[in-house]
Structure 1
Amino acid sequence: MNSIDYPPPSLVICPFRRILSRKFEMTEFSGSSFFIIDNSYHISDYDDAEDETHQLRLFLGCNNEEGEHYCSACGNNHKSGTTYYFCNKCKKYYHKECVESPPIFFSPCHPKNPLQLLYTNFDTTIYYDKECHACGLMINGLVYYFFTCDLWLDPVCARKREFSAINNPKRHEHMLHYFPRKASLTCDVCALDDSKYCFYSCLQCDFIVHRTCIYLPRVIQISCHIHRLSFTLSLPFQNLFCGVCRRKINENYGEYSCTKGCVYAVHSKCATRLDIWDGKELEDQPEMLYDNIKSFEEIDDGIIRHFSHAHHLMRLYENIERFFDGEQNCQACILPLDDGNVYRCMQCDFVFHEACANLPRFKYNMAHPHRLILRPIDKYFFCHVCYRYSCGFSYMCSEGCPSYSVDVRCASFSEVVDHPSHPHPLFLIYDQKTAQACSICGTESAYIQWLSCAKCDFSLCFRCATLPYKVKHEDDEHILTLCYEKNASGLYWCQVCEKTTNLKKGYYTCNECGVTFHIKCILGEDPYIKAGTITENCRQKVEVIPNNRLSRPICNKCQRRCRYKTVFKTSNGNMICSAREVYGLRVYVKNVGAINEFGDVVYFDLLMKRMKEKKESSWP
């Protein structure tokens, strides 16, 4: 951190003291409530000027270990040469522009009319979508506003002098000039006519661009495509659909396309979504050679040394029926070894499906913007895609999200999912605005991720999408397959529980015998948690034991005998039939709440309270 060495206390007041020094008039703009800030930022204008509990010191080019500081006054981060104040009482950083913000200001981008300084009222504003019209960042504190034009500018952007003209040869070869009036113009970069952002135009050619689009990156990596994407103002292909939103692409406007020659393109706004892009500009950056690194070293033909079992060698077996009776499970995905090729340790019982042994060490997943790394987990963990507890291997975020993990089944999905239960390809829904209903389990929710068909109304939750397509059961000697029949009729019975089977939902069947099974009767409640696993939650230690005694235990939660393959035994001796009951999970909820990182349903009143607390935490 470069700073002025022990500078004297400044003559400006801490924003926290400035906000709390008096009661401000509250007003409402565009559906959100704000305080009108009308007092000075000079410390000499306050009666308690001698109070030194909130002393501000100026720092130049301030950077923390992560290379950035978030201002606690406006809630945003501006990296380009911004100077910060630090308050010794609040222990917070503030932009110099946010601290020295007069209540009325004439901005270079709006010189004819004054802008009023406002502050977000967290008590009444929980959901709002106001963005700075210059940089596009969310408004989360101090902001300048002009009601006639509905213009919103954070204090940093409001004071910038380069508004009149911008020279960015990477975006356009000519000088771009600020267009001061709001008009319905179409941006040549994003193909949108959104007038809430400032427009710039070229005086030499027919080029119009949003200010936020001028600085879009040239080369990026998104989570839903394996190759890098580069920006282009026109596509050589026609009749392409965006790889994110699945809407048609106008090839005459700016888009991102694959650098390796794939017939793949994404709208510029879709490509720079924060849930699929990690925010990094990759132009002139070398390709990461370890992105496709194998998980094993090939010793000989059919013999490997896997990174998770490096002390022993493993051999490939192509006819597993000679060695396995269906009781052993793959160490990575925890599914039984029913058919296909496997790698088996030459000295112990460690075994993989061939596909699981070939899982890459590093990969991108369409549900997370950062690169994931494969790790073996010795206890069960929570998958943030299917909201289910699993054992085995997990893909964990390698950048800034230490608690994020995805099981290998969810991580194996690519940008286009060919599911055996449906004839059309499925895509991940990013902009889900209404509740979806899973075509297999019938669950309806607007708060979990879904795979959907672009040609019909078929949708899958990730829990059903990751169900094994082929399984074996002791009640049938043949391989059972997962089926779904939308227009099925007639009565069928499950061979295990002897209750009716609804063929319009998912079920397992034998193609030779014609019998049917409920999915839970085959797989159980927690099919991916193996017996012998021990973990701890916030209250107690939990051990997973096999449910193979002569008398099945009675669950202490539901007061019924545990009927699944595994039972959860707590440190106080309670027997619980499922992880859902252990942790009090209620994953599938219709129009009720959202799911947090622990898999718990957060109801709307609690959700709003937590959002409010998160915003207020930016203040001391």
Structure 2
Amino acid sequence: MHRKFASILESGSSKKTHRKIDSVLESGSSKKTLKHFSHDHPLIFKEVLRDARVELSCYGCEQPIWGPAYGCIWCKFDLHKQCAELPMVMKHPMHPQHSLTLFPHLPFDEAICRCAACGRRCERFFYTCSKCCFYLDTICLSTMDKIQQTIKHKSHGHLLITLERPALFFCFACGTEHRGTSYLCTTCGFWINQKCASLPSTIKCSNHHHHLTLSFSLPDEYYQFRPNCDICSGELNRMYWVYYCVGCRYFSHVYCATSKAEYSRGCESEVGAQHGDSKLISLPLADQSVDPLTLFTKDLSLQGEHKKATEINHVSHDHPLIFVDKQIHDESHSDSKIPLLNEDKHDENCNGCAQTISVPFYHCAQCNFFLHEFCAELPNKMQHPCHRDHPLLLIAEQNTNFRLRNCACCLKCCNVFMFGCSACQFYLDIRCAFLPNIIRHEVHKNTLGLRKVNNIICSICNGNVCGFVFACDACNFIMCYLCALLPSKFNHRYDEHPFLLTYSPVENHLDEYYCEICEREINPKRWFYHCVDCDQSLHTGCIQSFFSDVHLNVKFGGTLKVDNHPHPLIFAPCPKNKRPRPSCNSCGQLLIENDVAFECAPCKFRLHHKCANDAASKETS
């Protein structure tokens, strides 16, 4: 075999070819043509574009061709410019004792010609030493030349070598797999792809109005809030590179920020397209004075069977109910059948919704029973989008045993009017039953539809939701109903300016945000309330505690007689902030805050709700 190589090298034609190659290369820059020893026809210089329709492959290294190349106009023969200009004879550090000669292909069909660097069979251009049976393909030759070239990248403390092998590797910059040109640290194994190594230090992203700065890891001061990518909403790993805006606390994966594709929040949801925008409820609420139930039902046509009759009979009560359409403030009416409601006396609550009674309303002249006109006009049944299997029936029976049911939306207990399906044990209080099917919210481009979910994370507060949400099916956007009902403005008694609902960090506010109520740090990537004038902030959760009552749907004040206590027991909430905690006189267990109980305050006698009902049932039987 070695004699075959030697004969080819020593032939006159080979020497003539060598001299001819050198002469053509000298004039190739002007004539743009090359006569190469590996091909019979002249090769024409050309520039191959990366987006060319036909992908060309180099005959010498069998790699795709992009950029300068030589090609034959008669044959499908192409060479990279660097492959076409390889020297015929060279010295290499892997085989320093002899010179290596370039061959265009194997001169015989034997499988013993394998590259000394990678072990693969030499097929096309390769260098060989005919005396030592040494072979080196041009790809490994190029790689080793690159290895000898090192670069210093500002992201790493060691020098990086350049690799152009088509190996699959995991990029330490973006956290994804890559092939092709890369940079490797032989000291610690740090490995990044060429595209990441060439990323600009700042970039203008179409998804944000400021320039983004490249950081080689997620800054420690922001990691405690576990921020997500503001483009794809995916998780950010603190070890990988990110683009971010310091003033806005806007973060992005490097591949999201550099992508040319426009990120859309999706198309209009199908359910939203079927409704006219003019009839959609637009949120957020103007301020905390707006009652959601009033807003959601202002255009709703109820059954209206009473039509403001002066006297009605209602299924929830045994006696006739009298209609009242004006507030009485005159003490001279105290003996009349019309109830006196003024600021100096305790206002009555509606037996339908447990809220403070206000005109117009119905009341019973014989009993302490009140119904808002709205509650009296409620339909007997309704179809609900979150329970399509059965209609929901109005539950307005006379609650003599103080039965509590839990609302499937807000999960709060309720002993007043509800809509429910007893077969499925699905119940909704009045406020939740009339949540709109479709809403628009200024924070999201598309309409949001009402959905019932279980263990879903809210995109706004990051809380785990079991109940109702407003969702965008097009882009997997979830907003729990509590976030949806947050008012856009909140007035606090200790601040002369209103707090505004803020969806992102305040521009150029580089300091930390702390809640003025709980004094804990605020994650500005989540919604919060902020007063620009006073530079004060509030958690949305702390604000919700002002207008969210766990007993919102419970009417207290009824009495229950049990045989183990001489006095009637009053239905009441468990005392708050009482230490030590009182205990139930029946089972001995502590009464929990935010629970309900029956009590005789003068005797300090209290019973759990269940214990009192059990005692009353035994007495009845």
* TM range, smaller chain: 0.3 to 0.5
Q: Of Structure 1 and Structure 2, which has the larger fraction of its residues in helix?
A: 2
TM-score between both structures, scaled by the size of structure 1: 0.34
The structure having more radius of gyration, on CA atoms, is 2
TM, length-normalised to structure 2: 0.34
